[in-house]
Structure 1
């Protein structure tokens, strides 16, 4: 059984107008680490790379086992690397770990979201990841035009549903040619919603909670000077964030 986790975290890339986004998928099938890696590379991108914050979210979003594989491993018990090639920190080892020179693969404990090193031929469930790109489009369009542009040329306008995503999005507004940047948040039928269908649980409105905006201010933009969302006139012409597909590198 495979379950998608509604978890998106951004990683800064070279350049100030793009970032990489990870989405994680829990696979409730118990395999050796290498077989789990093979499965993930065939069906997704790779075994999951997970920051400490992601590790906490991954444990919250599954209830099937007390530990599960992620993509951190080593060949010599000294240099640990992520299967997907990311440089993400792995500074959240469980107490006393890593502790032997023959336990070359890693799992996360559900009890405390910490890494443990174990022998690779254990049968654990695992998380796979898929990667997408965040791109700032430096072309001024109305909200609807931005939505159409993103869907025609990429995937969608970007949804921001955590403080870390918000921080990374702010970092990528530095080259924006407009003070505010469209995001995929719209007010219709009495409530705000993300264009990807997600509920608005994380909020970063200017002035706190925002329930019913003025009739002409029913699209949301990221204010790069004040680091908040603000309702804007949907006909205003702004730069915008698109979500683009990540091109998976070939694995030999």
Structure 2
């Protein structure tokens, strides 16, 4: 038979938006999850800083303690950095009694010289590592790198110079990689663990307080937002009785609004201001929005103003990192004029001049700036 598929399109003008609901009644994490599933959809899932700010605004001024969200420590959620494929029930070579999530920080995996066992370690330990190189002109598929780096640094190195940290799918691959490890050494491989959301979302967004998660006492496997000054995340004992935040979904339309701020700030200071008072620094992803911005600042700005574009070293990207916000190719919209040139290697942030042209300058420069907000209806 012929058949019919469907896809879901979400644009900046119409989208299914998460709505957050603060429940002041104190419950354990599992009790809170049950309540949310019965009355809404689930405990709050947060995909990006835009949603984080929306959640904060829901609670701000009402409550100043900690409240459960849907993130929890799933001890079985191991993934490979190459393609984020789940470990599932496939090949593994864990050392006896591993993994244990020791101290709540053992989220990355090394291979030992002794029989190629897998050992979970703190990701900030410095080890040598093995890269996988899948390029057609690569002389070797597996490359041992005799440099000591954290797991994240090793991942960045492998992605820059080869393809990725190694994934190990069977005994043959394990033996080949094991043969590269020097005696008495451990090496990073591409296996790592992330926390999971109770609604099974694949969101990788996080907003942890410095030093968290720390699994204090070995029993902190659930996540709470602290609505104090920092409004960041901590890991807590799942049996604690706390208020919580549920979410539901409603179909809403929105219109973008831009706000010109004449105060001079660095790019990061401007980003912080916009996220606290609106949604983020301005994103401009098509010529229609470019004209809207210029109409907003017409006569107000005779110099340059920060927008949300910055260089994360690997590519130009937007401060507002929300896949649902952008239509096809909108992330790639640029309005450079003889730029960028990264003069002296220190121009990683973008300003808009009074003619609407973009230029890269030092992020520490003091500039006025443009914030983005949206009106829902």
What TM-score, normalized by structure 2, do the two folds share? 0.31
More helix by share: 2
What TM-score, normalized by structure 1, do the two folds share? 0.46
More strand by share: 1
